[in-house]
Chains A and B, each alone.
Chain A
Amino acid sequence: MIATRMLPALGFAPRADRLVERNIMNYRRTWIVLVSGFFEPLFYLLGIGFGIGALVGNVTGPDGHAISYGAFVAPGLLASSAMNGAIYDSTFNIFFKLRYAKTYDAILSTPLGINDIAVGEITWALIRGTLYAIGFLAVMVVLGLVQSPWVILALPAAMLIGFAFAAVGMAATTWVRSWTDFDYIFVVTLPLFLFSSTFYPLSVYPEPLRTIVSITPLSRCIDLLRSLALGELSPVLLVDVAYLLVMGGVGLWVVSRRLDKLLLK
């Protein structure tokens, strides 16, 4: 047991794919629930990108060119929906299985271990998020909101966002005691969604507020996706990627530790 604990969380999850298989089995019958996750960001895009966009008109892009407000806001919405999807999947769904259905207790009586569960569930959240991101990017292409071929990299970037938030969301869920505790999680995610430059550039904030907001996770995600969508590459993007990798890695490590404590006592 001690030896297993000392192994790095990422290094040992040989049967994580079985968790993914279980979730596919579940959603094979309830796929309609999955489809709904695609529409949420689409409605935001139509309502805000085009509705508000009609009021705003064009905005100045990072390189000085005028771009439509829709093209500006779309990558922000993609990043936000990748965050929201991952959080949703890794909080409510995990909590139900952890505390009520005792799904993981049953699984731990089989050769699967804690790391298989942690990696498997986060992988599933990632797969789900990837499907949504593909759908959203396709809509962006159809609506003519794509400014640069680099947007193709927005897909792996969205996956990385999903990984980072799913890991942190699942870690937070291990401390949740009842359904009402989820309010604390949404007290964090809603301001992130509203104030992380999803709808307007960071430059509207005065210093030091701008710096503070710019180091919050969703700001890094939006910076990453917007830069790729608008074709504005810079070394800062590597910092964004590293930020998200560390965030996901730490989250996964915490999940493993916490599940071990909760389930193998």
Chain B
Amino acid sequence: MTTAQPIAAPASPEFAPDRPGVPEAARESLIRARGLTKKFAEFVAVDAIDFDVAPGESFGFLGPNGAGKTSTMRMIGCVSPITGGVLSVLGMNPAHDAALIKGRIGVVPQQDTLDMELTVRENLIIYGRYFDLSRREAGRRADDLLEFVQLTDRAKSTVESLSGGMKRRLTIARSLVNEPDLLLLDEPTTGLDPQARHLLWDRLYRLKQQGVTLVLTTHYMDEAEQLCDRLVVMDKAHIVAEGSPRELIDQYSTKEVLELRFPVGVLETLGTELDGLAERIERLPDRVLLYADDGEAAAAAAHARGLRPETVLVRRSSLEDVFLRLTGRSLIE
């Protein structure tokens, strides 16, 4: 599978997971959901889903906008009461132990919710105070975390003056101020440029190496492949598949994909010419995807049939292909 960019230095010791043990009941699953359901009036946002997240693993919800990912994350984060089913987080019930659970999780929301009236460092200190840290300890952690997300030189800046990537990094730093056992990240890199995304991924990878359990939602396949040990694919309030990125690709796609792009108007005229060239054929508005274990061979066969596409591309299957197979739609429309 895709490997994350090499991490040179081991995790800095001050961020070692020096935290009280997880309750015995939760050792098996940090999060356990059975028949978990969320309704808003008549609208069903999450429809009776089951999943488990093990301690130390990095777990992803992959799906398009509106699939129910954020609703699920909000229920786990104890800011949205469940409508039905069973949900246990860190061995506790969000309906009764919200303050206790929230004390041990970190949350990176989809939309930045930094305190616009405070400076960068003050944001971290007051957040630490919300978790009952002493002022001295909150200040110490703020300085360490600013170092970790490379914002030390911006400590006294206002939040407004930060770039989008810096704000996300500050939000991640803020989510770590209570040294959480579980980190919830709702689309952590949406809207960031590639450089900012890689820097964030690097920080998240380090946290994962330190034993922090990561649960994230994304509609980016590369992000899921970079960060997730295991993921579920969500579509229209349901979980439609579950496994590691590799397992999902093996199960729902072929080794390779042949992408043929034809001149405007030609695609519509193609009838049976493509039949039998591949295990499965997807027609997209602008190109045809042929799923085959040997893409080069399929390309040669297409050429032999007299097909003359404008461009020919053979690539490995990705989670995007898995999603297309499962739902008939692209992830990002």
Taking Cβ atoms with an 8 Å cutoff, the residues of A that contact B are: 1-4, 15, 18, 21-22, 25-26, 100-103, 105-113, 263-265
| A106 and B79 within 8 A (CB) | no
Tell me how far the C-beta of B66 lies from the nearest C-beta in chain A, rounded to whole angstroms: 16
| B109 and A106 within 8 A (CB) | yes
**Bound Cα distance from A2 to B80, whole angstroms:** 12
**Bound Cα distance from A73 to B129, whole angstroms:** 44
| A110 and B117 within 8 A (CB) | no
> Taking A21-B129, A109-B79, A112-B130 as contacts, is the C-beta distance between A102 and B111 under 8 angstroms?
yes
> Taking A26-B117, A102-B113 as contacts, is the C-beta distance between A111 and B131 under 8 angstroms?
yes
Tell me how far the C-beta of A19 lies from the nearest C-beta in chain B, rounded to whole angstroms: 9
**Bound Cα distance from A26 to B125, whole angstroms:** 12
| A25 and B118 within 8 A (CB) | yes
Q: Does B296 contact A (CB under 8 A)?
A: no
Tell me how far the C-beta of A96 lies from the nearest C-beta in chain B, rounded to whole angstroms: 8
Determine the residue in chain B with the shortest Cβ distance to A111.
Answer: B99
| B126 and A109 within 8 A (CB) | no
Q: Does B225 contact A (CB under 8 A)?
A: no
| B81 and A111 within 8 A (CB) | no
Q: Does B143 contact A (CB under 8 A)?
A: no
| For the complex of A and B, 4 pairs with smallest distance between CB atoms | A110-B130, A106-B113, A102-B113, A109-B107
> Taking A102-B111, A105-B113 as contacts, is the C-beta distance between A264 and B126 under 8 angstroms?
no
14 contacts between A and B (CB under 8 A): A2-B95, A3-B96, A21-B129, A22-B115, A22-B126, A102-B111, A105-B113, A106-B174, A109-B102, A109-B105, A109-B109, A110-B103, A111-B99, A113-B98
| B99 and A264 within 8 A (CB) | no
| B118 and A26 within 8 A (CB) | yes
> Taking A2-B95, A21-B126, A109-B107 as contacts, is the C-beta distance between A265 and B115 under 8 angstroms?
no
Tell me how far the C-beta of B271 lies from the nearest C-beta in chain A, rounded to whole angstroms: 51
**Bound Cα distance from A218 to B81, whole angstroms:** 39
Tell me how far the C-beta of A228 lies from the nearest C-beta in chain B, rounded to whole angstroms: 36
**Bound Cα distance from A101 to B115, whole angstroms:** 7
Q: Is the interface of A mostly helix, strand, loop or mixed?
A: helix
Tell me how far the C-beta of A16 lies from the nearest C-beta in chain B, rounded to whole angstroms: 12
Determine the residue in chain A with the shortest Cβ distance to B95.
Answer: A1
| B80 and A265 within 8 A (CB) | yes
Given A101-B117, A109-B77, A110-B102, 5 more A-B residue pairs with CB atoms under 8 Å apart are A21-B126, A26-B118, A103-B113, A108-B79, A111-B103
| A101 and B113 within 8 A (CB) | yes
Tell me how far the C-beta of A90 lies from the nearest C-beta in chain B, rounded to whole angstroms: 16
Contact with A110, one of B111, B122, B131 (Cβ below 8 angstroms)? B131
**Bound Cα distance from A111 to B115, whole angstroms:** 17
Interface string of B118-147 (1 = CB under 8 A from A): 100010011101111000000000000000
Q: Which residues of A contact B174 (CB under 8 A)?
A: 106
**Bound Cα distance from A1 to B101, whole angstroms:** 13
Q: Which residues of A contact B178 (CB under 8 A)?
A: 110
Q: Which residues of B contact A3 (CB under 8 A)?
A: 95-96
**Bound Cα distance from A3 to B96, whole angstroms:** 8
Q: Does B4 contact A (CB under 8 A)?
A: no
Q: Does B114 contact A (CB under 8 A)?
A: yes
Q: Which residues of A contact B100 (CB under 8 A)?
A: 111
Q: Which residues of A contact B107 (CB under 8 A)?
A: 109
Q: Which residues of B contact A100 (CB under 8 A)?
A: 116
Q: Which residues of B contact A265 (CB under 8 A)?
A: 40, 80
Tell me how far the C-beta of A26 lies from the nearest C-beta in chain B, rounded to whole angstroms: 5
| B130 and A107 within 8 A (CB) | yes
**Bound Cα distance from A109 to B79, whole angstroms:** 7
Interface residues of B in 69-110 (CB under 8 A from A): 77, 79-81, 94-96, 98-100, 102-103, 105, 107, 109
| B81 and A264 within 8 A (CB) | yes
| B113 and A15 within 8 A (CB) | no
**Bound Cα distance from A25 to B119, whole angstroms:** 10
> Taking A21-B129, A111-B99, A111-B102 as contacts, is the C-beta distance between A1 and B81 under 8 angstroms?
yes
Determine the residue in chain A with the shortest Cβ distance to B178.
Answer: A110
| B117 and A111 within 8 A (CB) | no
Determine the residue in chain A with the shortest Cβ distance to B105.
Answer: A109
Determine the residue in chain B with the shortest Cβ distance to A109.
Answer: B107
Q: Which residues of A contact B109 (CB under 8 A)?
A: 102, 105-106, 109
Determine the residue in chain A with the shortest Cβ distance to B131.
Answer: A110
Determine the residue in chain B with the shortest Cβ distance to A5.
Answer: B81
| B115 and A264 within 8 A (CB) | no
Interface residues of B in 212-230 (CB under 8 A from A): none
Determine the residue in chain A with the shortest Cβ distance to B184.
Answer: A109
**Bound Cα distance from A25 to B112, whole angstroms:** 20
- A2, A107, A111: which has the most chain B beta carbons within 10 Å? A111
Q: Which residues of B contact A1 (CB under 8 A)?
A: 81, 94-95, 98
Q: Which residues of A contact B77 (CB under 8 A)?
A: 109
Tell me how far the C-beta of B130 lies from the nearest C-beta in chain A, rounded to whole angstroms: 4
**Bound Cα distance from A2 to B96, whole angstroms:** 9
Tell me how far the C-beta of A82 lies from the nearest C-beta in chain B, rounded to whole angstroms: 24
| B80 and A264 within 8 A (CB) | yes
Determine the residue in chain B with the shortest Cβ distance to A101.
Answer: B116
Interface residues of B in 163-183 (CB under 8 A from A): 174, 178
Q: Which residues of A contact B40 (CB under 8 A)?
A: 265
| B132 and A111 within 8 A (CB) | yes
Determine the residue in chain B with the shortest Cβ distance to A19.
Answer: B130
**Bound Cα distance from A21 to B81, whole angstroms:** 28
Tell me how far the C-beta of A74 lies from the nearest C-beta in chain B, rounded to whole angstroms: 34
Q: Which residues of B contact A110 (CB under 8 A)?
A: 102-103, 127, 130-131, 178
